[in-house]
Structure 1
Amino acid sequence: MIATTAPPFETPGASPLRLVAAGPELWRVVRDGGHILGHVQRIVDGTDTRYRALRYRPAGRSFRTVGDFWSAADAVDCLRFGG
């Protein structure tokens, strides 16, 4: 099954972020004001679901995998606080 709605996530006490659909199983992580932090991609492997955090690298015009996480919230936080 391909997800089209954003996975649920909460980051209490942190500045608000939102997920915007960027493709099947892929969401853009956007800070208030429109600044894009990266993408979260849903990865399904058998019965396991993980969320991959991807950060855009302007110099290489490519995405770098930051890590795979068991929750969307952890993937989003990785992009929020990562460099």
Structure 2
Amino acid sequence: MSTLTDPAPALVWATPTLSSPAEHLERAGERLWRVLDAHDAIRGHLRVVADPLGVRYRAERLQLASGAFRLVGEFWDANDAVAALRF
């Protein structure tokens, strides 16, 4: 039996598939992945964002001093978002 106070089930987002072997993803949250290079150094983060037109991917970097994420860019393709973190 469901009531109005029951929390909605969390969506489990599948890990995006990357076409480049230069990076891989490690889950860091419900909609967040760390982008790691071949030496497991963190390049940044990939966040899934729901958009009325479909799923968007945000490339972000964590600023340690403030503890906040800085937006690098928002893309329709996960590979494009990860590529933005290479520089």
Give the TM-score normalised by structure 1.
0.80
Task: Map 1:4-83 to 2 at 5 A.
Answer: 4-11=13-20, 16-81=22-87
Q: May I ask how many residue pairs the two structures share in their alignment?
A: 78
TM-score normalised by length of structure 2: 0.77
8 Å CA contact 1:29–1:37 kept in 2: the answer is yes
Structure number with higher relative contact order (C-alpha < 8 Å, ≥ 6 residues apart): 1
Q: Gaps spanning 5+ residues in structure 1: where? A: none
Q: Percent of aligned pairs with the same residue?
A: 40
Decide which structure has greater strand share: 1
- List gaps (5 residues or longer) in structure 2: 1-9
Runs of 4+ with >3 A deviation: none
- Note the aligned Cα RMSD (angstroms): 1.8
Which is greater in Rg? 2
